[in-house]
Amino acid sequence: MTDETTSRVHTTAPVRLARQIRGLSDRAVAWIFIAPTIFLLLAINIFPLIWTIRLSLTNYRANRTSADLEWVGLRNYQRILNDPDIWNSMQATAHFLLWTLVLQVLIGFTLAYLINKKFRGNDMWTTIIVLPMMLSPAVVGNFWTFLYQPQIGLFNYVVGFLTGADPSSFSMIGDVALAPWSIVIVDTWMWTPFVMLICLAGLRSIPDSIYEAAECDRASKWRQFWTITIPMALPFLMLAVLFRGIENFKMFDLVVQLTGGGPGSITELTSINLKREAFEKWRTGYASAYAVILFVTVFGLASIYVKALNKVKER
């Protein structure tokens, strides 16, 4: 059928006329096609967002519907910005973001660089490496608590085997110093392949001819890496960082299953903190203000970042 239609591309007839005569106008089709999507997004995303902003100005509690609703203005915002616990959460999130991004970029790029050496079977091994990131973070995170058990856990055993430490002498999840790393390790295990895949696409987009030209100029491999490979792959790397950054700022499922925010509140990321406020303490108004602040933060940071990304791309 496609052949048949293509063969008629050249018969130039009054296309517009035909469209108008038969069936709906393009404009109508366009709106009919787009409307349900926009409607659903309005209902599931925008309407709730507006509602959240409204709630954030009240003292509403979702578990006490009979209580009087009181407008409190910006008091919720004021309280949140002055709450040291929330700043601790922000700090925990920043630590988590920084280290997962650094590790994932380093390991992910290295892996992509190695895979790009096109050894035999690189496709198959790439697919294997990618597996963890497609799995349910909650289910996998829950199982990692088992791997992290002192003594009987596989992780502790392997670390003990390699370092000679007693596998029951340390608890990744229970120790204040180790817990922040326990979540970084699992997130890195899961999401390094994401960075790797994007970097691989970046490396593969660099035409061989550029290297060949550099080779003619007798540029060293080291120099080629820093003047060709890195700059050419940078937009891809930055894109990967954008995606991972947004995802990890929202991080909830994996960490809630791994540490639940503990010990104490060392690994209580903002999403976990928000969940406690909204769905355990049921301070709906307060939590709404918190949600708005988080949204503005992620949106603001992402916008600035995208501007920077576009600049890099233009170069």
Partner 1 sequence: MSYSVTDPSPRQKWTAGTLVVAYALITLLPLLWIIATGFKSPSDAIAYPPKVIFEPTLEGYVNLFTTRTRMSPDALSALGEPATWYDRIVRQYDMVISGPSRYGERFLNSVIIGFGSTFLSVFLGTLAAYAFSRFKVPLKDDLMFFILSTRMMPPIAVAIPIFLMFRQLGLSDTHLGMILLYTGVNLSLSVWLLKGFIDEIPVEYEEAALIDGYTRFQAFTKVVLPQAATGIASTAIFCLIFSWNEYAFAVLLTSGTAQTAPPFIPTIIGVGKDWPAVAAGATLFLVPVMVFTILLRKHLLRGITFGAVRK
Partner 2 sequence: MKTSHYLLATAVSAMAGLGATSAMAEDLTLCWAAWDPANALVQLSKAYEEQSGNTMNFEFVPWPNFADRMLNELNSGGQLCDLMIGDSQWIGGAAENGHYLKMNDFFDANDIKMSDFIDATVTGYSEWPKNTPNYWALPAFGDVVGWTYRKDWFDRPDIQAEYKTKYGHDLGVPDTFDELKNIAEFFQGRDIDGTTVYGASIYTERGSEGITMGAMDVLYSYGFLYENPDKPYDMEGFVNSPGAVAGLEYYKALYDCCTPPGSSNGYMSEGIDAFKSGQVALQMNFAFTWPGFESDANVGGGKTGYFVNPKGPDGKQFAQLGGQGISVVSYSKKQDAALDYIKWFAQPEVQAKWWSMGGYSCLKAVTLDPSFPESQPYAQTFLDSMAVVKDFWAEPSYATLLQDTQRRFHDYVVAGNGTAQQALDGLVNDWTETFEDDGKL
Interface residues for partner 1 in 178-237 (CB under 8 A)? Answer: 189, 193-194, 197-198, 200-201, 204, 208, 211-212, 215, 236
Q: CB under 5 to 8 A by kind: which of partner 1, partner 2, none does 109 bind?
A: none
Q: Which one among 62, 201, 301, 302 touches partner 2, defined by CB under 8 A?
A: 62
Tell which positions 21-50 bind partner 1, by CB under 8 A: 22-24, 26-27, 29-34, 36-38, 40-41, 43-49
Question: How many residues in the shown chain lie near partner 1 by CB under 8 A?
Answer: 113
Select 5 or 82, whichever has its Cβ closest to partner 1.
Answer: 5
Contacts of 223 (CB under 8 A, 6+ apart): 214
Q: CB under 5 to 8 A by kind: which of partner 1, partner 2, none does 147 bind?
A: partner 1
Whole-number Å distance between alpha carbons of 245 and 274: 18
CB atoms within 10 A of CB 213: 12
CB atoms within 10 A of CB 133: 17
Q: Which one among 57, 115, 172, 237 touches partner 1, defined by CB under 8 A?
A: 115
Scanning 7-15, 129-137, 148-156, 303-311 for contacts with partner 2 by CB under 8 A, the matching segment is 148-156
Whole-number Å distance between alpha carbons of 112 and 200: 5
Q: Decide if residue 257 touches partner 1 (CB under 8 A).
A: yes
Q: Which one among 26, 85, 123, 215 touches partner 2, defined by CB under 8 A?
A: 85
The structure tokens listed for 90 are 């922000």
Q: Which one among 184, 195, 266, 293 touches partner 2, defined by CB under 8 A?
A: 266
Residue of 177, 168, 146, 139 whose CA lies nearest to 264: 177
Identify the burial level of 265 via C-beta atoms within 10 angstroms of its C-beta, where 0-12 means exposed, 13-18 middle and 19 or more buried. middle
Select 96 or 236, whichever has its Cβ closest to partner 1.
Answer: 236
Q: CB under 5 to 8 A by kind: which of partner 2, partner 1, none does 171 bind?
A: partner 2
Q: Decide if residue 132 touches partner 2 (CB under 8 A).
A: no
Whole-number Å distance between alpha carbons of 277 and 168: 35
224: amino acid identity, one letter: Q
Tell which positions 203-232 bind partner 2, by CB under 8 A: none
Whole-number Å distance between alpha carbons of 295 and 255: 20
Q: Decide if residue 151 touches partner 2 (CB under 8 A).
A: yes
In Å, how far are 98, 158, 171, 261, 305 from 150, measured between CA atoms?
Answer: 27, 11, 5, 19, 41
Q: Decide if residue 174 touches partner 2 (CB under 8 A).
A: yes
Give strand pairing partners of 58: 71
Contacts of 52 (CB under 8 A, 6+ apart): 288, 291, 292
Scanning 114-122, 146-154, 207-215, 294-302 for contacts with partner 2 by CB under 8 A, the matching segment is 146-154
Q: CB under 5 to 8 A by kind: which of partner 1, partner 2, none does 225 bind?
A: none
Select 52 or 89, whichever has its Cβ closest to partner 2.
Answer: 89
Residue 174 C-beta: closest distance to partner 2, Å: 3
Contacts of 192 (CB under 8 A, 6+ apart): 103, 104, 107, 108, 111, 129
Q: Which one among 75, 79, 95, 275 touches partner 1, defined by CB under 8 A?
A: 275
